[in-house]
Amino acid sequence: MDHYPDFPSKFVAPRQVDVWLPPGYESGNGRFPVLTMHDGQNLFDPATAYGGIPWAVDKAALKLAAAHAIQPPIIVGVWNTDKRWEEYLPEKPFDGDFEAVFQEFPEKIGGKPLSDSYLQFLVTELKPFIDRTYRTLPGRDHTFIMGSSMGGLISLYALCEYPDVFGGAGCVSTHWPAVDGVILDYLKKYLPRPGRHRLYFDYGTETLDALYEPYQQQVDAFMADAGYTQGRDWVTRRFDGAEHSEKSWQARVDAPLGFLLGMQG
């Protein structure tokens, strides 16, 4: 694991970036797909993960790669900052009118969303560095992005804003209430046409996840109308009994990894 404690940016505040390299990277000369994930401190290490339980995405990737179920990826974990909500809340859907979200989530967001700047950091600063430093497969078809809750929203937003950069997005326990009333109109304008991208959604049925099903059903209906095919270039999964926590995401992270990085046509 490589660590960059204060990765600089001209768009957002510096933050730690961790880079996990798959088996065979050090001993060979092959190139690898890249999966960028938000909330990087929660991915690998119990000492930094929220509640002491990480996603253990590295262990899941090792298991799937050993079974030849996925192309083993380079995993880039981007830590969040105290501006997590501002950086992860999609900006463009609101068209500058953020009053409703300020009123609904006053304890979470106190200023203008910074998601456009955050994506500029990921696309124009971090990705070029990763591609220069490591043996990546830099094209869209091998470049993926994933996160949970607000991280699910920013992953969907990243794919819509940069469809030529990201080939797939994993949106785990997506926090749809934060974009209630605006996300469908945005998707109608910006969701890429089907056929060249993969989109993964899921949700549980307990704690905060219990709120998500009606929103997800609306998005699912839109995905079908837009021409996406469930199981081919899009999947939505419901996990009965799963709560909104790193423990739950650890238990099912193989599902988005398998869909995004799998060998299907």
Cα dihedral 175, 181, 183, 187 sign: positive
Assess contact for 211 and 177: CB atoms under 8 A.
Answer: yes
Q: Which residues pair with 2 in a beta bridge?
A: 19
pLDDT tens, residue by residue, 163-198: 999 999 999 999 999 999 999 999 999 999 999 999
For residue 62, the number of C-alpha atoms closer than 13 Å in the C-beta half-sphere is 9
The pLDDT-based confidence of 29 (bands split at 50, 70, 90) is confident
pLDDT tens, residue by residue, 63-114: 999 999 998 999 999 999 999 999 999 999 988 788 878 777 777 777 789 9
Please identify, in words, the CATH class of the domain defined by 2-261. alpha beta
Cα dihedral 200, 206, 207, 213 sign: positive
Q: Distance between CA 38 and CA 148 in Å, rounded? A: 8
**Boundaries of every domain in the chain:** 2-261
- Asked whether the predicted pLDDT for residue 250 surpasses 50, the reply is yes
Name the CA dihedral angle for 262, 20, 145, 174, rounded to a multiple of 10 degrees.
Answer: 100
pLDDT tens, residue by residue, 3-28: 999 999 999 999 999 999 998 898 88
pTM: 0.96
